[in-house]
A and B are shown apart, each in its own frame.
Chain A
Amino acid sequence: NAGVTQTPKFQVLKTGQSMTLQCAQDMNHNSMYWYRQDPGMGLRLIYYSASEGTTDKGEVPNGYNVSRLNKREFSLRLESAAPSQTSVYFCASRDSPGQGDNEQFFGPGTRLTVL
């Protein structure tokens, strides 16, 4: 099992460019999450998908869109990148929404720089 995989690992964009960050999990988990981590800060939730077919905003959704393509895949799109979106992006998955096993499994991260 690969767990949670993210592509690309690194990306440099110019202001205004668009791109999609890909995330896939092979653990048959229902819930998936996108976080950003800025230097010296904890992770902040951008969007999450409690189950296939649903998505909800997190703490910092502005400037992002998401797609839960199927149970395995959850992508994050930047339509018009801004320097403030320079960050490390982590995808995570979890077995089930609601109370219970709260362990989120994180991917290795995508390091994005917007010039």
Chain B
Amino acid sequence: GQQLNQSPQSMFIQEGEDVSMNCTSSSIFNTWLWYKQDPGEGPVLLIALYKAGELTSNGRLTAQFGITRKDSFLNISASIPSDVGIYFCAGSYNFNKFYFGSGTKLNVKP
């Protein structure tokens, strides 16, 4: 199956700091997605990317679709306590099957 490598696995940061995480794939994707999962719940979509090189923002979140189509990154600026959770990247090459990374667990200290 597809291999998605997501890093870092976990992060401990101070409130107000910026956060960066990334995802690399062994194959080319046509879509990159970033999700957040809170404990005991399903993932919720944060940002969707559809074109190589695309840079998209959603409030304090910014994500980019890598130019090689094999990577993507997510930045969170000025983190706040409610940013705590697990962030997943996901990619698809046929718009039907989606492959997920193993997640980045974010902890924010007030």
Using a CB–CB cutoff of 8 Å, the interface residues on chain A facing chain B are 4, 31, 33, 35, 40-45, 48, 50, 56, 58-59, 90, 92, 97-100, 102-104, 106-109
Contact = CB atoms under 8 A, between A and B. Distances in A.
A42 B40 contact: no
Nearest to B33: A102
A12 B42 CA distance: 20
A98 B96 contact: yes
A43 B43 contact: yes
A11 to B, nearest CB: 16
**What are the 6 closest A-B residue pairs judged by CB atoms, nearest first?**
A106-B42, A42-B100, A43-B100, A59-B1, A103-B45, A42-B102
A42 B4 contact: yes
Given A42-B4, A102-B48, A31 B41 contact: no
Contacts of A107: 42
Nearest to B44: A106
Interface string B1-45: 110101000000000000000000000001101000000111111
B40 A106 contact: no
A44 B4 CA distance: 11
A40 B20 CA distance: 19
A106 to B, nearest CB: 3
Contacts of A97: 95-96
A58 B94 CA distance: 12
Contacts of A59: 1-2, 97, 99
A58 B96 CA distance: 10
